Amino acid sequence: MSEEVEIRDAEARAAAARAADYEHGWSADIEQEFAPKGLSEDTVRFISAKKEEPEWMLEWRLKAYRHWLTMETPDWAKLDIPPIDYQDAYYYAAPKQKDALKSLDEVDPEILRVYEKLGIPIEEQKVLAGVEGARKVAVDAVFDSVSVATTFRRELEEAGVIFRSISEAIREYPELVKKWLGRVVPMHDNYFAALNCAVFSDGTFVYVPEGVRCPMELSTYFRINAENTGQFERTLIVADKGAYVSYLEGCTAPMRDENQLHAAVVELVALDDAEIKYSTVQNWYPGDAEGRGGIYNFVTKRALCQGRNSKVSWTQVETGSAITWKYPSCVLNGENSVGEFYSVAVTNNYQQADTGTKMIHNGKGSRSTIVSKGISAGHSNNTYRGLVRVAPQAEGVRNFTQCDSLLLGDRCGAHTVPYIEVRNPSATIEHEATTSKISDDQLFYAMQRGLDQESAVALIVNGFAKEVLQQLPMEFAVEAQKLLGISLEGSVG
């Protein structure tokens, strides 16, 4: 644990102790910045109160919490997860709690080196690293003194797009939130989703009204305004009839967080003719070369393609976290609805990833495409786990799945676990999987043309992952390419 984290931990403990001492009990006291350590109904009430939530929301959280108590941690993934003591953690700390650094000099040089490699402008580096006062500067520097946040927000409002933190949305658009929250991922869906329902601290809400094409990629906005939304993030995106929105989550820059457990829930809803493109670049701290530390990223992401001709496309580039447990899925209820999943998952050192998707075909003529590229190096284990299910009433379903694994070195593992369940004779389901390594010939050929070994590996790996990378919005595709190379440094030779 770094010094900085230790200091923060000590502060958190002190604040919790103060809260616990308060004579009226802390649950009524929403001035406190920290919920006390541990998880109980009182923790849930504290969070809800802190967020000034309406009663229904509190009830919803409590219901989820009570259900969570009856559940068991999933154990079916090919992951070795150390036991997690849920009482030995803090579930709420007000945002902005992070100690501001005075300058980039205080940032871990290793992180700076990676920023450098990614080509992130210096002012943006400051934002990412949490340097004091950097946000304003960054916005000014990057966008020529126009307040980009304001501009963006005005532009979105003119289009009728609602783009809020989920806490704001619960207060400002309770009916809309109530209608869809938990509709795609029910609170009892799984252990981590239930936990998230009970204690989620913040997240994002997007509503794109009928016929509206969101005027910008929400990534652009998000990029600059990304706050550390904490360990239990909640995202809900609703695209009404004929609407379109592209959303990018995460960041190529390595993100450090002292919270080890991350359990986010993302729900997407696409109505008739609507389309949502959801891209993720996940680069949470993966732990050190010996496998110490690192984030546990246990995420539930699911899309409901409810309307006819609706479409949801998930693209993910997963390079971070010590353990990843994540299956962005599509429930294809709408006739002729379309689900897509494009994934690159890289594991190195002692990382573990168990990730994939579920395509649940309930609608007639629904189609899905799955392209998964797993890259394992070091002592890591990388698993694709997927489900393609065709319901009896779903005529004319098509699915195509391609799962490719690339192994770098002979100490890692690459696994493919596809489930195929078909109950309609008219379905056409195709699944293909391959395993390969970077051949010595390829490496030598590239080096003979002048590339050093690391560049050659990065180039070949990017070629392997190309089908997925080209799905990303342009600006991120370039960074993601560099990221793949950086994640695999030292893995060959």
Partner 1 sequence: MTVLPLPTRRQEDWRYSDVEAVAGVWPLPDPVAIHVGAGEQAAHRLLQDAADGAVAIHDYAIHVEAGGRCTFHLLNIGGKLGRVTFRVTLGKGAHFGLYGAMIGGGEQTLEIVTSVTHAEPDGTSEQIVRSILGQKAVGTYLGRIEVARDAQKTDAVQSIKAMLLDRTATANAKPELEIYADDVKCAHGCAVGELDRQALFYMASRGMEPQAARSLLLQAFVAGVFDDIGDEAERERFDTAALAKLEALAGQGSGA
Partner 2 sequence: MSLLRIENLTNTVADKPILKGLSLTLNAGEIHAIMGPNGAGKSTLAYTLGGRPGYEVTGGSVEFDGQDLFDMEPHERAAAGLFLGFQYPVEIPGVSNLQFLRESLNSQRKARGLDPLSGGEFIKLAKEKAGLLGLDMEMLKRPVNVGFSGGEKKRNEMVQMGILDPKLAILDETDSGLDIDALRVVGEGINAIMRKPDKAVLLITHYQRLLDYVKPDFVHVLAGGRIVKSGGADLALELEREGYAEVLA
Amino acid at 30: I
User: Residue 451: which of partner 1, partner 2, none does it interact with, CB under 5 to 8 A by kind?
Assistant: partner 2
User: Residue 52: which of partner 1, partner 2, none does it interact with, CB under 5 to 8 A by kind?
Assistant: none
Indicate the helix (H) or strand (E) that contains 46: helix 41-50
Q: Which of 235, 313, 405, 491 binds partner 1 (CB under 8 A)?
A: 405
User: Residue 220: which of partner 1, partner 2, none does it interact with, CB under 5 to 8 A by kind?
Assistant: none
For partner 1, the closer CB: 221 or 341:
341
| C-alpha torsion angle, residues 483, 484, 489, 493 (rounded to 10) | -160
Q: Which of 23, 105, 410, 441 binds partner 1 (CB under 8 A)?
A: 410
Measure the CA angle with vertex 355, ends 257 and 420; round to 5°. Answer: 160
Amino acid at 337: S
Structure tokens at 423: 């109950």
Sign for the CA dihedral angle at 24, 25, 28, 32 comes to: positive
Q: Considering only 84-92, 103-111, 358-366, 421-429, which stretch makes contact with partner 1 by CB under 8 A?
A: 421-429
Under rule CB under 8 A, which residues in 217-246 are in contact with partner 1?
Answer: none
- CB crowding 215-240: b at 16 or more within 10 Å, else e: ebbbbbbbbbebebbbbbbbbbbbbb
Question: How far apart are the C-alpha atoms of 429 and 400, rounded to whole Å?
Answer: 6
Question: How far apart are the C-alpha atoms of 125 and 324, rounded to whole Å?
Answer: 25
Structure tokens at 235: 């995202």
Contact between 451 and partner 2 per CB under 8 A: yes
What interhelical angle do 109-118 and 122-129 show, nearest 10?
140
Q: Which of 108, 116, 227, 432 binds partner 1 (CB under 8 A)?
A: 432
Under rule CB under 8 A, which residues in 76-105 are in contact with partner 1?
Answer: 76, 78
For partner 1, the closer CB: 307 or 363:
363
Query: At its nearest, how many Å lie between partner 2 and the CB of residue 317?
Result: 15
Q: Which of 12, 245, 338, 408 binds partner 1 (CB under 8 A)?
A: 408
- CB crowding 361-386: b at 16 or more within 10 Å, else e: bbbbbbbbbbbbbbbbbbbbbbbbbb
Q: Considering only 147-155, 179-187, 303-311, 408-416, which stretch makes contact with partner 1 by CB under 8 A?
A: 408-416
Q: Considering only 183-191, 273-281, 361-369, 416-424, which stretch makes contact with partner 1 by CB under 8 A?
A: 416-424
User: What percent of the residues of the chain are helix, what percent strand, and what percent coil, each to the nearest 5?
Assistant: 30, 30, 40
Distances (CA, A) of 43 to 50, 61, 65, 315: 10, 11, 10, 34
- Other Cβ atoms less than 10 A from the Cβ of 408: the count is 23
For partner 1, the closer CB: 136 or 411:
411
Contact between 427 and partner 1 per CB under 8 A: yes
Contact between 440 and partner 2 per CB under 8 A: yes
Query: At its nearest, how many Å lie between partner 1 and the CB of residue 7?
Result: 41
Query: At its nearest, how many Å lie between partner 1 and the CB of residue 130?
Result: 39
* 120 Cα distance to chain centroid: 21
- Other Cβ atoms less than 10 A from the Cβ of 187: the count is 22
Contact between 105 and partner 2 per CB under 8 A: no
Contact between 417 and partner 1 per CB under 8 A: yes
Question: How far apart are the C-alpha atoms of 114 and 441, rounded to whole Å?
Answer: 29
Contact between 413 and partner 1 per CB under 8 A: yes
For partner 1, the closer CB: 434 or 470:
434
φ, ψ (nearest 5 deg) of residue 400: -130, 130
Contact between 119 and partner 2 per CB under 8 A: no
Q: Which of 189, 467, 475, 489 binds partner 2 (CB under 8 A)?
A: 467
Contact between 392 and partner 1 per CB under 8 A: yes
Phi-psi region of 107 (alpha: psi -120 to 50; beta: other; left: phi over 0): beta
Q: Which of 442, 473, 489, 492 binds partner 2 (CB under 8 A)?
A: 442
Beta bridge partners of 245: 276
Contact between 338 and partner 1 per CB under 8 A: no
For partner 2, the closer CB: 24 or 449:
449
Cβ atoms of residues 264 and 232 within 8 Å: yes
Q: Which of 82, 83, 109, 425 binds partner 1 (CB under 8 A)?
A: 425
Q: Which of 37, 66, 183, 415 binds partner 1 (CB under 8 A)?
A: 415
Phi-psi region of 294 (alpha: psi -120 to 50; beta: other; left: phi over 0): left
Q: Which of 455, 477, 480, 491 binds partner 2 (CB under 8 A)?
A: 455
For partner 2, the closer CB: 158 or 440:
440
User: Residue 116: which of partner 2, partner 1, none does it interact with, CB under 5 to 8 A by kind?
Assistant: none
Amino acid at 400: F
Indicate the helix (H) or strand (E) that contains 459: helix 453-464
Contact between 238 and partner 2 per CB under 8 A: no
Q: Which of 19, 193, 429, 458 binds partner 1 (CB under 8 A)?
A: 429
Query: At its nearest, how many Å lie between partner 2 and the CB of residue 370?
Result: 18
Radius of gyration of the chain (CA): 22
How many residues does this entry show for the chain? 493
Contact set with partner 2 (CB under 8 A): 439-442, 444-453, 455-456, 459-460, 462-467
Contact set with partner 1 (CB under 8 A): 76, 78, 392-393, 405, 407-435, 437
